[in-house]
Chain A
Amino acid sequence: MTDQPIVFQSPVKRVIAVPGRVFSFTKRWPIIPLVIMLLIVFGAVFAPVLAPFEPQKGDLRARNIPPVWLDGGDSTHWLGTDNLGRDIYSRMLYGARISLFVAAVAVAFGLVMGTLTGVTAGYYGGMVDEILMRLVDLWSSLPFLLIALIVAISVGPSLGMVIGLLAVSSWSAGSRNIRGEVLSLRNREYVHMARVMNASDVRIILRHLLPNVMHVVIVITTLRTGSMIIAEAGLSFLGVGVPASVPTWGLMIAQGQKFLTTTWWMSIVPGVAIFLIVLSFNFLGDWLRDRFDPRLNQLD
């Protein structure tokens, strides 16, 4: 990520531009994204309690019921049913579990690995830095979607495979930013002082450097989560992700595609959910970035 110079904006313009005020309000305090995220996380965690129907059990007499706000909608199935009469709301709740779980594990792995390599490369410099950064370069130039297609036929689709793939694909993303941050901290007074006081490398990294790069880590993690959710849904959509016996948002979109002329909400409802949660994560990430570190900001 290249450093962008900060462009100063005249305060007068900001007051005049009304849409700007609305925009900057949501940026100042991301209530809407947080509420959406909390709702979806809540729904995922308590899916067995909240779901009115079994996600995989269909009732053929109740098939193709549209959502409640359309003609013919029924309040017992407020998001409608699919072509096999399965309740879409219940499937959405269970699907949220997969999406969030996969994204959380993959991002957590990426977070630990990315921080570890970034801090090590930045702190030690020299050969260590060179090797680790080349490795990061190499890793980010591997086409992971295509690699997923190969793993899907050799190992077979499974939840573990999807998590593993996304985890190993995600670690290199933040590594470079974290390294850059550590490079700038390494020669600060307090780090030199710590060294003079005979602090070990591990102690300097854990006590003095890590807390000061946490803001970068948090921003990158938030922004990565959205793309992980999309990636998981993409693999399920192609039929090479989580096995078809588990309801996932990507799979639901794929199943609905065949019925676009009749039961179109089968595809649209899960897509809206993905869109909302990814948008929320991106908004939150942007907001955190503006708060913590305007230098990371590429939009302005």
Chain B
Amino acid sequence: MQKFFIRRLIFAFLTLWSITFVVFGLSRMGPDPLLIYVRDDSYGISEETLEKLRAKWGLDQPFHIQYIKWMGAIVRGDFGESIAAQRPVTKIIAERLPATLQLAAVAWILASIPGVGLGVLSAVKRGSMWDYFTRTLALIGQATPSFWLAILMILLVAVRLEWLPPATKADSTESFMTQASYFVLPALVLGFDPWATYLRLTRSSMLEVLDSEFVKLARAKGVSRTSVIWRHALRNALIQPLTVSALVLASFITGSVFVETVFAWPGIGRLAVQASLDNDFPVLAGVVLLFGTAYVVMNFIADVLYAVIDPRIRYD
């Protein structure tokens, strides 16, 4: 187990390092590296000023020197200054991060509990109308782009029915209910795909467990149906959905970029898109590295959880 753990840890660090390399390498890949700081439609800047700007960001130095300098700063926690906002990147991200985390937390609750519950129901009532309905809904979820689903929800629930506010996050001075109402739509959209994942996994592992000997024994002993399903079977069937949780949270990274963009949510997903449109490389690199780290950590946790639960994986 220890050997497996160390191997995975080294691999996680290797992945992290490749992300920094890919981020930096790609940023210098273009025809003119200055583009990552300045929009190419910035008219009226003289060639002399452009040269000065190149020198300012160290773009005149060789690639490996630039990379080492950049990495050195990153390791020390210095992500540079935003081009658009003229403020340290770490400060901007710190301000925006809570909104993203809150949204992800709400979305996770909305995805996991109904996902597992409906997965159990659909396994127990296999072949019923209810089973087909939830599975069809899950199939539809896989084919719907999240950004379009978001727009559809805004159109139906916010514009037509006027039940919920269409976008953004409420001010923290507002009442709890008002603030909560702003969370509903984005969290539902962000959680839809993970919901389908939970449903699918719970259903399949529940079917497997319900077919096993110990469940048959429990039934033969005369244990009630409810107790067999919820106490004997579900406990064992939960393992797979639980281990996948780490991967589900990692999928929120991609999801939050789209959902925050559509709902104008003041989080870091939208910050990344904005930075990309503004040619603001320091901010973009900061967000990508943060997301990348989260991604790697989540994958690492998922791997370790799998190995703890299923010893066969360790000897892979």
Contacts and interface: CB of A to CB of B under 8 A. Distances in A.
Interface of A: 4-5, 7, 9, 13-14, 17, 19-20, 23, 134, 137-138, 141-143, 145-147, 149-156, 226, 230, 233-234, 237-240, 250, 253-254, 256-257, 260-261, 264, 267-268, 270-271, 274-275, 278-279, 282-283, 298-300
A154 B281 CA distance: 9
A300 B296 CA distance: 30
Instruction: Specify the main secondary structure of chain A where it touches its partner.
Output: helix
Contact of A154 (B27, B254, B299): B27
Contact of B291 (A146, A234, A282): A146
Nearest to B210: A7
B200 interface: yes
Contacts of A20: 127, 132
B23 A267 contact: no
Contact of B142 (A13, A149, A268, A282): A282
Nearest to B18: A138
B57 interface: no
B30 A253 contact: no
Contacts of A238: 257-258, 261, 273, 276
Contacts of A19: 129, 132-133
B192 interface: no
Given A7-B207, A138-B18, A260 B279 contact: no
Contacts of B106: none
Interface of B: 11, 14-15, 18-19, 22-23, 26-31, 33, 35-36, 40, 126-129, 132-133, 135-136, 139-140, 142-145, 147-148, 151-152, 154-155, 159, 200, 204, 207-208, 211, 253-254, 257-258, 261-262, 272-273, 275-277, 279, 281, 284-285, 287-288, 291-292, 295-296, 299
Nearest to B258: A234
A21 to B, nearest CB: 10
A4 to B, nearest CB: 6
Contacts of A7: 207-208, 211
Nearest to B211: A7
Contact of A153 (B19, B200, B276, B291): B276
Contacts of B139: 279, 282-283
A271 B151 contact: yes
A219 to B, nearest CB: 15
A17 B131 CA distance: 11
B143 A278 contact: yes
B22 A260 contact: no
B204 A4 contact: yes
Interface of B (DSSP majority class)? helix
B3 to A, nearest CB: 15
A283 B36 CA distance: 42
Contact of B127 (A13, A230, A275, A279): A13
A145 B254 contact: yes
13 contacts: A149-B284, A150-B285, A155-B31, A233-B145, A238-B258, A257-B262, A260-B154, A271-B144, A278-B142, A278-B143, A279-B140, A299-B200, A300-B207
Contacts of A257: 151, 262
A157 to B, nearest CB: 10
Contact of A143 (B200, B211, B253, B261): B253
B14 A150 contact: no
B132 A155 contact: no
A237 B147 contact: yes
A13 B142 CA distance: 27
Given A4-B208, A7-B207, A153-B279, A143 B143 contact: no
